[in-house]
Structure 1
Amino acid sequence: MKYNEISHFSHPHHNLKFEYSEAPFKCDGCKEAGIGSRYRCCGGGGGHCNFDLHTHCAVPSPSISHPFYTKCSFQFMSRTPGAVARYCNACEKDVAGFVYHCNSCGFDLHPCCAKLPMVLDDGEIKLYLYKKVSSPCHRCGRKGRSWSYRSSCKKYNLHVACVKEMLVDSWHEIYYGAWGSSYTTAYTGWTTSRKLEATTRVPSLRATLETHNHKQSSGSGGGKTAEKCCEVAGLALQFVISAVLGDPTTLIAALVGKLMSK
């Protein structure tokens, strides 16, 4: 086994190799979308299984604690216990695969949600993760709901649930389609149109942000201020999307920003 390869219980026939993907993929562990770093099937005999795992799903911690749930101990599980449908307490989305579960409280967290950074900081903007905030979300306009990222200036707030909804809307085939079989064959099997469609439909809040900030600046001669606000909020969205997809790095945020601008 090479230094950048691992064996994994969920895919025992082949090793998985660490690599970087500029195209979105569906994690075969948690069944959520991802981009950037991942572990992908090395294949055997020249073939590939189109099997992918987020880094958080490929190399999970057996148990974790979380500052939002100080009395809980979350255990990593390949599936939720029992037959009742469960949802992630961070993003409110269904749990369909790998999960961190607290037996005593019954809380569940997607692996990538469980590992969301408490602070996203690129040197220009800081975003803090909150369990609940009193200010409205830039996308849905509602307060509370799921976990949220809020800027240090408190002007920008995005629900993790809303970001997930944006991804589901934009990448419907990754979540619900035949992604990984008829649509992909070890990358090279993608048709050009499918690949372009998949990699350019990254969600954008530009129209919503422009409307919001126009209202904020109307009557104050703040046209340039509104434009700057859109730019900063767009940057914030890039980092939140990157974090939700399992790779909250400046490199991936830049890639997401590039795809958003197309």
Structure 2
Amino acid sequence: MDSSSSSSHRGSSINEEKHIVLPGIHEHALMSTPPGAPYSCDGCKEGGCGRSYRCEEKNCRGYVLHEECASAVLHRENPVSHSFFKGEVFAFLEKPLGRPRDCDACRMEVKGFVYHRKATKDVDDTGLDLHPCCSKLRDNISYEESHATKTLTLQQNVPKKCRLCERKKFGDDNKVKGWSYVTSDGDCFHVFCFKDLFLEKLKEEDSSQEKAVVSRMQTNNVTGNNMKVVKKVGGKSNSKGSEITKVVAKTATTVVVKLLFSLILGGGHPIALLPALVGLFSTSSSSS
């Protein structure tokens, strides 16, 4: 697969430094780690699989930051801009201000690190918020499919119904909100829907790993009587993740699925869960 991308200014790059120090955020140096197993970022509090920065001190219990979150802290004194918000300036915050807030890109709750644009005097303006990872979503990426060059383009609006959830709006929102990726063929995919599907699979993966660890401990007779196995999340076929998976199988090619997961989940590389997900989509497609 041959691909290329372009992107507008979204803040300074971390330049793939091997070790970084983030005073006021973490007491130890963090080491650059390539994409791999799923993790939960201690900065934005969201899941990830892409490149990260991790603390190797045993007492820190695996403190980890998305590469984008580490970069946001490293350059926190520098305000950033985004091509979707001409003339707007965003500042880095360690946590959201006041009431619960959603990211204006993915429409998921902001729980930690965030880029924030202050509210104006307009009564309807409550400010803008972007997860560090969402702020760096690529504008477009070209790819080869069926001997033709096609493009996935990031759009600030949702021009038509999302092929995954078959809606333009989220929940009870009166207005169409959130960003989407649109293919050359006109298919629209909410950033939210792909991110939500990933988080569902991430929960399943975490739960499966924990069950495997507990099973090994029980086999070796090292578990206490109070050890409990966490029930697997979303294991039934009627789970939200499974329903979206079925829709993906019928609406998106394997190439598009790979690109969307890579774009939305960061790191510039296919995520660790991608082979299983794509395999599931492909299997569902062939059987339908």
Give the root-mean-square deviation of aligned CA atoms. 3.3
Q: How does 1:46-61 map to 2 (within 5 A)?
A: 47-60=59-72, 61=75
- CA deviation vs aligned residue, 1:129-179 (integer Å, no higher than 9, x gap): 00113221111111244200011221x2110111222123323378xx99x
What is the aligned partner in structure 1 of residue 222 from structure 2?
none
What is the aligned partner in structure 2 of residue 29 from structure 1?
43
Q: How does 1:83-232 map to 2 (within 5 A)?
A: 83-105=98-120, 106-124=127-145, 125-143=150-168, 144-154=176-186, 156-172=187-203, 207-211=246-250, 230=252, 232=253
**AA aligned opposite 1:35:** C
**AA aligned opposite 2:61:** C
What is the aligned partner in structure 2 of residue 236 from structure 1?
256
User: C-alpha distance in 1, partners of 2:143/2:24?
Assistant: 35
What is the aligned partner in structure 1 of residue 238 from structure 2?
none
User: Normalized per residue, which structure has more strand?
Assistant: 1
For this pair of structures, how many residues does the alignment match? 221
1:252 aligns with 2:264: no
User: C-alpha distance in 2, partners of 1:91/1:40?
Assistant: 25
Q: Which runs of 5+ in 1 are unaligned?
A: 184-188, 213-229
User: C-alpha distance in 1, partners of 2:99/2:275?
Assistant: 40
User: C-alpha distance in 2, partners of 1:93/1:22?
Assistant: 24
Q: Which runs of 5+ in 2 are unaligned?
A: 1-16, 121-126, 169-175, 217-228, 234-240, 281-288
**Among the aligned pairs, what percent are the same residue?**
30
So what's the TM-score if we normalise by structure 2?
Answer: 0.66
Aligned partner (choices 11, 35, 39) of residue 53 of structure 2: 39
Aligned partner (choices 95, 104, 126) of residue 79 of structure 1: 95
- C-alpha contact (below 8 Å) 1:56/1:112 kept by paired residues: yes
Q: Which has the larger radius of gyration?
A: 2
Deviation at 1:78, TM superposition (A): 0.8
- C-alpha contact (below 8 Å) 1:77/1:100 kept by paired residues: yes
Deviation at 1:102, TM superposition (A): 0.3
User: C-alpha distance in 2, partners of 1:150/1:137?
Assistant: 9
User: C-alpha distance in 1, partners of 2:46/2:215?
Assistant: 23
User: C-alpha distance in 1, partners of 2:39/2:32?
Assistant: 14
- C-alpha contact (below 8 Å) 1:29/1:57 kept by paired residues: yes
- C-alpha contact (below 8 Å) 2:261/2:274 kept by paired residues: no
User: C-alpha distance in 1, partners of 2:90/2:110?
Assistant: 15
Question: Counterpart of 1:90 in 2: which secondary structure?
Answer: coil
Deviation at 1:237, TM superposition (A): 2.5
Deviation at 1:28, TM superposition (A): 0.5
- C-alpha contact (below 8 Å) 1:74/1:102 kept by paired residues: yes
- C-alpha contact (below 8 Å) 2:158/2:178 kept by paired residues: no
Deviation at 1:206, TM superposition (A): 5.1
**AA aligned opposite 2:70:** A
